[in-house]
Structure 1
């Protein structure tokens, strides 16, 4: 397998996303793709897979390609069994081709090399063992194994796991994965890691999972522009090597930007002083040497113009460094509160699904979050982490148990699936509408509104665009901003690292550790769990 991309570029009608993409992927290479939300990571995968047409540059690919995207839509009525059947049909067809070729092979004049290549491909794909491998992949990834289940009745995560299992069994020459660990628990990630480490073809992996990058990436390609506006390949394996290299690059960038700004300010000051001289101290007395006055005026004008030319000629094109998270100073309590009273308390919660299925049952459990408290909720998929958080925030209905929220407590929540974008409303408009809603409910102090543009989560240009035009990761950033809008006393975050860039995840974790507000986090992210290891833990497994 060989893939060569040269100077790829792509722009949507509203904005460009990719420019100057150069990369090579061959057998055994596992390329981790990172970058800020909206930098074009998912778009790049579609270009490499051929599901988007090239707008600029060249792309050469030899071998089969399989893409698993973040958002999977399926035709109405399609079932798990239909996906599995598609996978098995291709593998069985290959096994049938080998059998026919072997039976019809002419030992005197036949092409032994072609037969050997076909045999090698069948052995690589283990076509004769396909049924068992499909069942194993579905099981190890925690996917639905009932072939009769309709895909449109499954959650996004359940559909993703079924599709991922099938793609892994197919063993394409080039595997393209978009945030594969978003919907996997520890055992599923372990299985995926094992599969990727032994993948004979090439892998291009878009992920925010820092541990996965450390475990499998042989190189990291960062789509965030550098000083010259082009993506950067960090050729050393693992996340730590990438982070070290990028930190050095950013330090040089910031240093050059500051130096250029200071030099530009000095040159502009000199130019302004020159122009001031046209009307000040150099002038001779009126009525004397008027020809000399005109000559000196021209000299000063020319000198000032030469300074402007010098400024433009010597100026370096150093763009501003990227945004950095500016986490607000959140309150622990309101005046007059007793620090010994919890902000929210949950007792013996039991939650039942609309179809009667049990989603959560914790008899005899008391969960109390005090001011500035911390809680880390962990457990495999399906154990009720999201259900517990919805019960804690009051968005879920308790079949048994009680929830007590202290009067006046402001809650900030980020749900696992995020909010549904409201039509063509922009980020600024969405933020303003949320502020008015909170104000009407008495949950917003007008003197403590957190300005969205000051958070370093989205640029003003991104906030001006309709939310539906933002990437999944940018919408996730807006969700986080909305949770912070009213300076909450308690933050409840369900899988907060999903869809976020690795840079933002690196900045978010220490911010959550330092904030005076109380924080409850449910996450499968292994690196975040390690970073928050000192917090109290509720393990639903």
Structure 2
């Protein structure tokens, strides 16, 4: 027997039918199909700029497709990466907005009960109101939101203005509100970026029991394993179409995609080789027209013209045959080409090369934390980064991981303790807010291209004495951004593409020490796999702070510093 609650949930779905969308002349999505019903949890993956966030906004109704249609049934909740709220908006405002549908369901049930007459009452209305109330578990909504705020490590003070919160805190507030809301259709954009391990575990449990339809843009490979019932990869395949993978294990998806990429690259190489052979044979054939053997002058005067015509026809037939055999295969996607980073700086005159650490912190303390507490305090501790070493920094949100990495990088001043850097050592730093955040000019002024911004960053490093011109890493050689992306203004790049740009800036100076704060944030799952392998193999010293469970598992053999 189907309950009223089941009837409400069963109608929850979102459908994209041949959806196409473009920004100007750049087509981002081309005739994409997707059907997500109640109980489905679909992960959207793909390279940065493939259109994941765009598709999510189309499903939410924030964007209108150029062609195709989007249909939704049931209530909708969306958590985007960026939040644009009016000044003065508080935590309580977000909570009240998220629970508006719950309040309405409670009011409708109260009205239906109050106006119901057992003899002539509208039983269908009462049943629907009860079903909606039960489906939303409206009696428990406030407790759910408060629990989610606590479990995600978000502020619970309703009067706190959002502008006084960090980017991560604002995201966690929105996520908690939407999880507590229990909408029919839930759309999330990179929900684990700002969560620690405990918060991710809580989110995973809530998503696995979600009764409605769920679509999630994510780079979190463990979340794909733990939650998704299907994976839609928006990267084009050989036929130019996105692929829907029913396999719910990330390893199965990666294996299938890697096999496809190997076939694609082999076909592309074969076509390029065939095209080169065609060009060589045509050149030789037509060049032969001028070198063709000719009979002695004055004899068989028509033979030269006949031989020339035969030669041209033979060359034309060759063209037709080879072109008929050729298969148009698009250029395969970029692959990360991680540079060969040095392990030690060049010898500095007067330096005896004592073999000590490249960077060292002693008893570091940084003040300015919430409630007058220090952001970082490690009394009596020494953090050393020797050549070629590895260090994995873990801990819950607020434990000081980002502050520790900033102290190692020298981007935050110590209120106690000391920082020492060996002569000639170069550091590459990927912070949670990278060079992209500071390369953007004020609104209303032209945004520099990614290539120009990279060149400006190189000049700034050179002026600061932190770059050896002979060891500069060209951005075009990294396989992080296409030439077309490098020519585009930074402002037009997606969040993921800007994160790729920030990673390129961290590698620009061929650093001896890489300091990476949440390096998987906003990067595609494929690039995260490639980056993890590169970090394990590089000769440079590497320090990584991450909440990414799969990356922590992949780096489990590294020395670990746990804060908090």
Asked if TM exceeds 0.5, the reply is yes
1:399 alignment partner, one of 395, 403, 415: 415
Alpha-carbon distance, 1:388 to partner: 0.7
- Which stretch has the larger CA shift, 203-212 or 247-256? 247-256
SS of the residue corresponding to residue 192 of structure 2 reads helix
How far is 1:357 from its partner? 4.0
Tell me, yes or no, if the aligned pair for 1:339 and 1:370 is still in contact at 8 Å: no
* Partner residue of 2:323 out of 312, 320, 337: 312
Give 1:360 deviation, angstroms.
1.0
2:522 is equivalent to residue 499 of structure 1: yes
CA deviations on 1:127-180 (whole Å, 9 max, x unpaired) are 112221111111111111011110011111111110011111111111110000
Q: Does 1:422 align with 2:422?
A: no
Task: Give yes or no for contact 1:494–1:521 (8 Å, CA) kept in 2.
Answer: yes
1:344 alignment partner in structure 2 = 359
Displacement of 1:525 in angstroms is: 0.5
Partner of 1:259: 270
CA deviations on 1:303-334 (whole Å, 9 max, x unpaired) are 22233333333321111211111111111102
The count of residues paired between Structure 1 and Structure 2 equals 541
Matches of 1:396 and 1:441 in 2, distance apart? 17
CA distance in 2, matches of 1:398, 1:429: 33
CA distance in 2, matches of 1:286, 1:386: 87
TM-score normalised to the size of structure 1?
Answer: 0.97
Residues 431-457 of structure 1: CA deviation (Å, up to 9, x unaligned): 111111122222221111111111111
Partner of 1:32: 43
TM-score (normalizing by structure 2): 0.93
- Give unpaired runs (5+ residues) of structure 2: 1-11, 442-446
Shift of 1:462: 0.5
User: Would the aligned equivalents of 2:145 and 2:177 in 1 still touch at CA under 8 Å?
Assistant: yes
CA contact (8 A) 1:92 1:128 kept: no
Which residue pairs with 1:364 in the alignment? Answer: 380
- Segments of structure 1 that go 5 or more residues without pairing to the other structure are none
After TM superposition, list the pairs within 5 Å mapping 1:221-300 onto structure 2. 221-300=232-311
Q: Given the superposition, is the C-alpha separation of residues 339 and 493 from structure 1 closer, same or farther in structure 2, using an over 3 Å criterion? A: farther
Q: What is the aligned partner in structure 1 of residue 3 from structure 2?
A: none
Q: Distance in 1 between matches of 2:170 and 2:419?
A: 33
Q: Indicate whether 1:486 and 2:509 are aligned.
A: yes
Which residue among 353, 357, 382 is the counterpart of 2:398?
382
User: CA 1:289–1:158 in structure 2 vs 1: closer, same or farther (change >3 Å)?
Assistant: same
Mapped contact 1:330–1:515 kept (Cα < 8 A): yes
Please state how far the C-alpha of 1:339 moved relative to its aligned partner: 6.2
Quick check: 2:115–2:121 contact (8 Å CA) kept in 1?
no
Contact 1:271 1:304 in 2 (8 A): yes
Give the C-alpha shift of residue 14 in structure 1: 5.5
Aligned CA-pair RMSD: 1.5
Contact 2:142 2:180 in 1 (8 A): no
Distance across 1 between alignment mates of 2:122 and 2:150 = 41
1:415 & 1:125 partners in 2: Cα distance? 39
What SS does structure 1 have at the residue aligned with 2:193?
A: helix
SS, match of residue 377 in structure 1: strand
